[in-house]
Structure 1
């Protein structure tokens, strides 16, 4: 009782709203230390896809030890073995097969959420586009005219990178679409549409005897190594070419391909090997280097499909309109 004679009452507690309870439960779940990180899920899915720790590490742009630690930590957290590994093979356990489906759904849902937020914050008509650096679009008139048209680009420069990197950025929501060369759709999150074809040509030292011919077969240069890219850079095109090499009986030794095209040309000019490149790249001249056409049958086997890649369930009219413009331009 207070001094003025009025009874003091304790405040009546107010029960939290059911929605507030659900939010608190969800927040506590997200802060739980018993949930795997997205990085751990990505590493697991890479191994589940490749069934090879070396290739999975290349896919994740990391070395094998940290990849193995991510898998080990994930298994310890879940208290179940997901992957069986010995000196002969890598395989998924039954639990690993089941978890792969759930992990893939989780990352797709997270990707959709991120993409949705970004789309809601962006200008509805702004379309972020990428263009592969593997192809010299300046020598493809229809493509060059399109990407040079300010009305098409909106005055924005297209992001240039390797095809695989562009596809990953589309998948993550960092880009809306990309014009790439010969990649495979990554699961259910990407839509890939072939639009045109870019022939491959041979790059060889100008002093090589075969350089005297206008057309050179791979069999004519087996005395030199082939500068070749890592499978992780573009698994789909790599596998396509490997199948072609086996069919043609071409088995020249390989050397790692320099990432910079000018360094590759310098190595070829020095007689260190030969290379294959898209026909449009012959615009890059270099003393000591000869560009030569391949026999038509070989060129068809090794050609690069020019593709447009976007998210599989894209609905934004502005993005779909850009894809339609690209389709019409390259069809002509």
Structure 2
């Protein structure tokens, strides 16, 4: 196998097409440089240079090998730098999980801040419900989650990223929309409801149940995604309870009204991560990130 010193010697001779100038460039004498090239050619199994007393030129094999030699040497020179940057958290990969609802609320501003703090770190995004994020964080498949409570505070550390109120989404032209103002519990007792799935959207399901005396006989659809709920409202299939950030979806045919029972911005989104942080990029981010993004 050839060495990186042999590659450097070959590149110098190939670029100078002169052993003397190449040796001078490498701060060495010509005989050891000639021996390096001979050993390289033996290791490669092909003649790379044609030389006589008057000139040096590349063989076809040497021309092809030159490009690869430059690439290999560049990689060898870059590898320690890359390793140091990853160890310091300045390079590498950060795997972030997010809920669908956070995708149209906090995700954009958060990614901008991450890019400013870690411009050379690649970000891998995965849309997952909170339960899936927690599993992925436990197995090391994710570094950071944007998730809803509750979660095990002995296993995960967290920071509150965002708080918002719940609203009721109604079809445009609905009597509640024409009336305007705050919607109370009595206003909803006869309405067809589009509800959150108690399995796939447990956080929002539990939140709505705590806030409102939901008549389960009025539930006409049960879905897991906020976007689906709002789309069904636009199709006049019923009314739905959604976080305020859903107003950013811009779906035609839907109006959003405040809920009387939504006190103190009850919808929370947290950044969560394992207390056993092993990714240097995450450690660097956590030391610099401004969590006041709301």
Give the TM-score taking structure 2 as reference length.
0.58
1:309 paired residue among 266, 272, 275: 272
| Alignment partner, residue 321 of structure 1 | 284
> Can you give the 5+ residue segments of structure 2 that lack an aligned partner in the other structure?
1-85
> Can you give the 5+ residue segments of structure 1 that lack an aligned partner in the other structure?
1-122
CA shift, 1:177, in A, is: 1.0
Aligned length, in residue pairs = 205
CA shift, 1:300, in A, is: 2.5
1:202 paired residue among 157, 168, 187: 168
| Alignment partner, residue 286 of structure 1 | 251
1:240–1:302 contact (8 Å) kept in structure 2: no
| Alignment partner, residue 172 of structure 1 | 139
Separation of aligned partners in 2, 1:187 and 1:149: 29
CA shift, 1:279, in A, is: 1.3
Aligned pairs for 1:1-332 within 5 A: 124=87, 125=89, 126-137=93-104, 142-143=109-110, 145-146=112-113, 149=116, 151=118, 154-180=121-147, 182-186=148-152, 188-212=154-178, 213-245=180-212, 249-251=213-215, 253-259=218-224, 261-295=226-260, 298-300=261-263, 303-314=266-277, 316-326=279-289, 328-330=290-292
Separation of aligned partners in 2, 1:225 and 1:289: 15
Any runs of at least 4 consecutive aligned residues in structure 1 with deviations exceeding 6 A, and if so which? none
1:183–1:234 contact (8 Å) kept in structure 2: no
Separation of aligned partners in 1, 2:104 and 2:157: 22
Give the TM-score taking structure 1 as reference length.
0.52
2:211–2:262 contact (8 Å) kept in structure 1: no
Change (3 A) 1:300 1:136: farther
Structure 1 residues 290-323: Cα deviation after superposition (integer angstroms, max 9, x where no partner): 112223xx22367211101111333554323323
Higher relative contact order (CA 8 A, sep 6+): 2
* 3-state secondary structure, aligned to 1:156: strand
Q: Which of 1 and 2 has greater Rg? A: 2
Separation of aligned partners in 1, 2:120 and 2:97: 10
Separation of aligned partners in 1, 2:150 and 2:186: 29
